[in-house]
Structure formats: structure tokens, C-alpha cells
Amino acid sequence: MIWFTADTHFGHANIIKHCRRPFASVEEMDETLLRNINARVGRSDTLYHLGDFALRWCCGVTSQRRVE
């Protein structure tokens, strides 16, 4: 299956307030987004991320975690 997503803003704490996202912390947001993606996107699926992936490369998501 082919999936599309955008605007995850991993590691972007201010996006929680700016967009009224229902999270207490950026860590909670990142973990929830990854868990939700992993619940839908299978190993043989293709996921296209169309923009605003992360605030910066150092946030940990891009270097230490991977979507399973």
C-alpha cells in the first residue's frame, strides 16, 4: 500500500502550542506520531512524507528512531 503524510514536525515543541496539538511535550508528540504511523504503515508499504518532517536533524527521530 502507498501512504502519504506531511507536517509531522518531529522535535518542534512550539508547534504544539501554535497548532493546538493535544500533547504535553514534544517527546509525547513524537512517540505518538511514530506509534500511529507504525500502526498503519506495514513493512512492505511505501510512505511518502511531503514536507515539514522535523524542526532539525538533531532531534533524535531522524538519527535514532525509525518507522518499523
3-51, pLDDT tens digit by residue?
999 999 998 999 999 999 999 999 999 999 999 999 999 989 999 999 8
Statement: residue 59 has pLDDT above 90 = no
pTM of the model: 0.76
pLDDT, mean of residues 40-67:
72
Q: How far apart are CA 1 and CA 53, in angstroms?
A: 21
Helix/strand/coil percentages in the chain, nearest 5: 40, 15, 45
Higher pLDDT among residues 50 and 62, named by residue: 50
* pLDDT given for residue 5 in this prediction: 94
Q: Report which of residues 63 and 4 the model is more confident about.
A: 4
